[in-house]
Amino acid sequence: MSDYETLLTDENIRLCKIDGELVYLIEGLAYENDKQQTATYGLFQSDLGKYAERGQLTAIAQFFSLVGNGLIVTRHIFFGLNRPLLNDNNMDADKDKIVLSRKPRWDAKWKDKNNIEKIGVPPGKVFVTIISMNTKHLVRFPMIYGWVDRWNWVEEDEGLAEAPINWVERYGKKIYTRP
């Protein structure tokens, strides 16, 4: 079992030191074996640091406000991308993606060093988080169900509330919708 130490806790996000790595852990919904369950998703602190290096402060604000507090209240879960994707030398990485979508009540932006500001939601959009199943790092990080890859706002589908536009063509299948 990996060494595990919680360094910081903030609502649904924990910063932990696991096997010598700093990892944000986020509780969220998952759907497996025909039932809804709670799962732990992860993001290496170094990966979030790359957003800061590129000056993408809004993405960092969204991570803490929307991803961290939103995966547990996601509305839809989709499995698989309908486009080829190479990731970590896996030619079929598109088949292992999980997509969570919902329509939050606010967006977030970086205000200053210690403050995130809630702002209005972009009209006609839903918030999507793309997750990779934890296959490559399962031995080192067995507590992590999937890894947060990216997040962004996407046009909302006209036929399915809180789903991305053209979700039928975008994703392999819809596996869960929260009532």
Neighbours of 146 (CB within 10 A): 24
Q: Long-range pairs for 134-142 at CB < 8 Å and ≥24 separation?
A: 134/42, 135/96, 136/88, 140/2, 140/18, 140/19, 140/21, 141/2, 141/18, 141/19, 141/23, 141/42, 142/1, 142/2
- pLDDT recorded at residue 166: 95
- pLDDT recorded at residue 3: 65
Boundaries of domain holding 53: 4-177
pTM above 0.75, yes or no: yes
Contacts of 179 (CB under 8 A, 6+ apart): none
Count of all residues that appear for the chain in the document: 179
Please list the helix, strand and coil fractions of the chain in percent, rounded to the nearest 5, in that order. Answer: 20, 50, 30
In a structure prediction context, what are the per-residue pLDDT tens digits for the chain, which is 179 residues long? 456 667 767 777 999 999 889 999 999 999 988 889 999 999 999 999 999 999 999 999 999 999 998 999 999 999 988 765 545 665 555 567 899 999 999 999 998 877 899 999 999 999 999 999 998 888 999 999 999 999 999 999 999 999 999 999 999 999 999 98
Tokens of 82: 């309908």
- pLDDT recorded at residue 72: 94
Q: For the chain, give me the number of helices (H) and strands (E)?
A: 4, 11
Q: What amino acid is encoded at 125 in this protein? A: K
- pLDDT recorded at residue 81: 82
Conformation bin of residue 89: beta by default, left when phi > 0, alpha when psi is -120 to 50: left
- pLDDT recorded at residue 1: 40
Smallest CA-to-CA distance from 108 within 156, 56, 155, 164 is with: 56
Q: How many domains are contained in the chain?
A: 1
Question: Which is it for strands 115-119 and 107-112: parallel, antiparallel or unpaired?
Answer: antiparallel
